[in-house]
Structure 1
Amino acid sequence: MAQEITIIGAGFAALTAIREIRKSDKDIKITLIAPKAEFIFLPSLIWIPSGQRTGDDLRINLDAFFKKHNIHFFAGSVTAIQDVGRTVITDNGEIKNDALIIASGGRFIKKLPGIEHAITICEGIEAAEKMRDKIKAMDGGTITLGFGGNPKEPSAMRGGPMFELLFGLDTQLRQEDRRDKFKLIFFSPAPKPGARLGENAVKGILKQMKTRGIETHLGHKMKHFTENKVTTEGGEIDTDLIIFMPGMTGPSFAANTEMPLSPGGLIQSNMNCEVEGFEHCYVAGDAGSFPGPDWKPKQAHMADLQAEAAAKNLLDGLKGKAATHTFKYELACIIDSNDKGTLAFRNEKRTITIPPCRLLHYVKKGFEWNYLRAYRNP
């Protein structure tokens, strides 16, 4: 009987897994489960508020990509995984498999009281457009931007995009000759936000905030939001708009599986991207909790590296071979400010920081163009 692979998700890890599998096997059946046959290039959401990108620039229809790679697309949202991984339950029916890759991404923790008053831009295009429209309609005022984490899963946070939004907004308002009408305040429970980027990067980020006239409220645990206030254990901040990135946890269906979960609610994996105790089950990207250094990142680049290892081990596993492929930890981030970029790179051997320069802004845009070529013109 022909073997069948199921992939959950249509983001970075899922699509990279498809490309990696098809390098070695052109015929094995692959079913991809996602609500829509589209890919959203999330890293470029930061450019929507300034108008450098629109939603349509970042929304890629995957029909042609799926056709080229002989992928069966199944429209649905996963609600559970049963039979030791062999059955995926969705709101549109069940899918059986011989091997499974979970690449669904995680979800944001929305437990902070009043969080409905904040915009979380990484939730997608609609959130980025909401931020754009609100700022455009403001004549002035205070905008607060910050991020939190998952105390039980320190790696499950998205800090980089918030620095980009902060610096990008400062640049945007200056270009619009409106900066003097706005107060920008950055808040975080971390006394040194962005520590995973390395000490020099943190110093550079805080220096940029000071140079740009951005106020800070650091090292205080958040208590709640209202429409016009950010309240922390260190006091209250009056605000007219809150942009906030909560910490992350596992996908909503994670609790409806028998798979091991980390204390932070992510699916537990080893360095081979295997869900231990579940044969031919793998996880890549934000859905997974992996062993590694305390600075390990949650970003698209990391998801791609994990997906490559997961795909190779899956194909070997179906042939009866042991998993031997691992991934390297590598943090690669250009913190963009709409006209310049700061490079933060880190692996297990070195940490590199390059101060803001115009070239890196165009490098980031060039990377976007090159990455999306495979999906726009498969």
Structure 2
Amino acid sequence: MKNIVIIGGGIAGVEAAIYYRKEGFNVELISEREYLFIYPTAIWIPVGTTSFENVAYPLAKIAKVHGFTLLIDRVTGINARTKTLILEQTGERSVEYLVIAIGAAKMKHPGLEHTLSICGAPEQSLLLKEKIDALIAKGSGKITFGFGGNPNDQSAMRGGPGFELFFNLHHRLKKLKIRDNYEMTFFAPMPSPGARMGEKALKMMRTLFQQNHFTTRYGKKIKYFENDTIVFEDDSRLESDLIMFIPAGNGSDMIQSSDLPQNNAGFIRINNYCEVEGVEGWYAIGDAAALEGPDWKAKQGHIAEIMARNAAHNSAISQGLKSGEKKGYHNHLSILCVMDMGNGAGFIYRDDKKALLIPMPIIGHWMKIGWGWYYKLSKIGYIPRIPGM
């Protein structure tokens, strides 16, 4: 039986571990965290409608069900030429066959420590809850949410969770009958944030912002953050009691300091089959990989899972465990999102042929909650996996 090492215990890494086992590999998953953090449902932690424990799912439980080995350690170095990893606790080791699924780092804005992110370290979701609870206890305040872009790789921009948490917080304040006491502003350096979702989705967002009395600060680059202020490139200032900001993704320092092939943003260059360019037997998937495709392409969880399954399939062919044709990710690129708003949702889909937005009042919110339970239960085999979900 062939051996494979997977680094990264997120959505891409866990999917890879499950499917490499299905293909007949001995699998070792290396993760610096003991749990899989389900970021799509983390939006409800800060507003108190779910708990951290419901979002952080034990990796050991998944490993036991699927029969792969779990090692909790942090990768601090990687060398493609010698095919070696350096681990913080267990030192250097050779790895002939590897899947890199360590996710992305974040763009480093001056003063970023004065912000919190719903897409950052899992613990920040709890810090956001503390901030929000304190603002509610205060009874009024200024709230600013935003996200940034990476000029070297626009696919690394992630704004959807910011919009979702923004709407969920608005919904909570309305339920408490104190919404009118808060100024809520959304900011982004691009003139039309969310444009890659398609014109229909963009128009709906504009309408919702107007209906809910949100203000915006679009089209101005961020110069730096202060403790209670965002300073833009023209030196204009936006004061805030709570700054939630999602920086765009960037290649991790470890990857950028390695000899792995990279694009200008520090993501690992791969071919259509997720094979790392020039390194036989190594794959990169999910946010760590440089995506190729249309301008609107986006790094999302369902794409990461497709890449994981394809990598397992392609590895099995390359290692002689099965016959058939390799599978690529290019023809699966799409934007797929159920954008939760606390009291409903919008189903958003885009590919090369169409861009859809379907409003789902009330039921959409419960559908996303249902997806969260489905995701966890399917990962441990309690319910069957639905193709494409």
Task: Give yes or no for the alignment of 1:269 onto 2:270.
Answer: yes
Structure 2 gap ranges (5+): 383-389
Cα gap change, 1:307 to 1:85, in 2 (>3 Å): farther
1:192-226: per-residue Cα shift (whole Å, max 9, x none)? 11111111111111211111000011111111111
Residues 285-364 of structure 1 correspond to what in structure 2 (within 5 A)?
A: 285-319=286-320, 324-327=326-329, 328-364=332-368
The residue aligned with 2:42 is: 45
Whole-Å separation in 1 of the counterparts to 2:177 and 2:47:
13
Q: 1:190 to 1:319 in 2, by over 3 A?
A: same
> Bigger CA drift: 162-171 or 231-240?
231-240
> Structure 2 CA distance, aligned partners of 1:318 and 1:258?
25
Q: How much does 1:255 deviate?
A: 2.2
1:218-253: CA deviation from partner (whole Å, max 9, x where unpaired)? 111111111121111352112111110001112332
State the SS of the aligned residue for 1:155.
Answer: helix
**1:77-120 CA distances to partner (integer Å, 9 max, x unpaired)?**
1112225363221112233333111111111112x111111101
Number of aligned residue pairs: give it.
374
CA displacement at 1:318 relative to structure 2: 1.7
- Given that 2:21 and 2:67 are in contact with CA atoms closer than 8 Å, whether structure 1 keeps it comes out as no
Please, which runs of 5 or more residues in structure 1 have no aligned partner? none
Query: What CA distance in whole angstroms lies between the structure 2 residues aligned with 1:68 and 1:364?
Result: 25
Q: Which amino acid aligns with 1:107?
A: A
Is 2:379 the counterpart of 1:371?
no
Rounded Cα–Cα distance in structure 2 between residues aligned with 1:255 and 1:134: 34
Aligned to 1:369, the other structure's residue is in SS state helix
Q: Give 3-state SS (helix, strand or coil) of 1:129's partner.
A: helix
Shift of the alpha carbon at 1:336? Answer: 0.7
Q: 1:96 aligns with which of 86, 90, 94?
A: 94
2:74 aligned residue = 77
- Out of 121, 126, 144, which is 2:118 matched to? 121
Is the alpha carbon distance of 1:211 and 1:83 closer, same or farther for their aligned partners in structure 2, counting shifts above 3 Å? closer
C-alpha offsets along residues 117-137 of structure 1, whole Å, 9 cap, x if unaligned?
110121143211111111111
Give distance in 2, aligned partners of 1:83 and 1:261: 12
Structure 2 counterpart of 1:223: 223
1:101 maps to amino acid:
V
**SS at structure 1 position matched to 2:119:** helix
Match of 2:387 in 1: none
Q: TM-score, normalised by structure 1?
A: 0.95
2:7 maps to what in 1? 8
Contact 2:118 2:246 (C-alpha < 8 Å) held by counterparts: yes
Structure 1 distance, partners of 2:252, 2:69, is 22
